[in-house]
């Protein structure tokens, strides 16, 4: 049975960043592996739970936390049908993308295929090479297909949950980079 990565959201943090710790709910001191992430109530945790991500099944690997949500192709099709009622260019792109997969693999295969939505948090203290690869100067930063200009730099912890959810899953976010309220990567 084929598996497709449908949505990938990556968040970049530093282990000693108080803004990141507030946004993700982890202990900012001595937690390079991010083992204490989502232990406190925080905005990202509430957004992921609202979108049915299994936070308790997160995988921890050397400063990288990954939360995957799997769904079948017919669930994805139903969700796209519901979103088509509101005109949005991002939904049209997703429908065309799904149509190409159906043309390539066939309707019965895609209907039962597994589509994965992935939310990943990377600690730049453990992986400093990624800050140069993605030109990250401020954290917390998010890389998502719905970001207006690629990577949104320096999203501050006072941003509303509604705007963060739009940035991650819906599109149309009005988040502006907030450099004065973030932590420099170094």
Q: What is the pLDDT of residue 71?
A: 92
Q: Residue 54's pLDDT band (boundaries 50, 70, 90)?
A: very high
Q: Provide the whole-model pTM.
A: 0.86
> What is the pLDDT, as a whole number, of residue 147?
77
What would the 3-class secondary structure string for 11-33 be?
EEECCCCHHHHHHHCCCCCCCCC
User: Domain boundaries in the chain?
Assistant: 3-71+113-184
pLDDT, one tens digit per residue, over 113-169 is 999 999 999 999 899 898 888 788 888 888 888 777 666 767 887 888 998 988 888
pLDDT value, residue 15: 83
Report residue 180's pLDDT band, with 50, 70 and 90 as the boundaries.
Answer: low
pLDDT of residue 153: 66
Instruction: State pLDDT tens for residues 55-76.
Output: 999 999 988 999 999 999 989 9
Burial 64-80 (b: 16+ CB within 10 A, else e): bbebebebebeebbeee
pLDDT tens per residue, range 2-22: 899 999 999 999 888 888 888
Q: Quick count: other Cβ atoms within 10 Å of Cβ 31?
A: 18
Q: What pLDDT sits at residue 171?
A: 76
Token digits for 163? Answer: 């705007």
101 within 8 A of 58, measured Cβ to Cβ: no
Dist. CA 148–CA 173, nearest whole Å: 7
Outline where 10-158 has alpha helix (H). Answer: 18-24, 43-50, 73-83, 89-105, 107-112, 129-133
């Amino acid at each position: 049975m084929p598996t497709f990565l449908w949505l990938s959201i990556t968040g970049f943090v530093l282990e000693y960043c108080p803004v990141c710790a507030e946004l993700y709910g982890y202990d900012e001191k001595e937690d390079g592996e991010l083992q204490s992430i989502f232990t406190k109530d925080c905005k990202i945790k509430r957004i992921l739970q609202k979108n049915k991500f299994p936070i308790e099944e997160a995988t921890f690997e050397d400063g990288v936390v990954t939360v995957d949500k799997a769904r079948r192709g017919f669930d994805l099709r139903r969700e796209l049908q519901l979103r088509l009622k509101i005109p949005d260019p991002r939904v049209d792109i997703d429908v065309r993308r799904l149509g190409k997969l159906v043309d390539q693999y066939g309707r019965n295969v895609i209907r039962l295929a597994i589509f994965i939505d992935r939310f990943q948090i990377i600690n730049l203290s453990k992986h400093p090479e990624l800050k140069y690869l993605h030109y990250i100067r401020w954290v917390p930063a998010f890389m998502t297909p719905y970001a207006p200009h690629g990577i949104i730099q320096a999203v501050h912890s006072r941003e509303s949950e509604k705007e963060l959810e739009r940035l991650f899953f819906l599109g149309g976010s009005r988040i502006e980079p907030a450099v004065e309220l973030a932590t420099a990567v170094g």
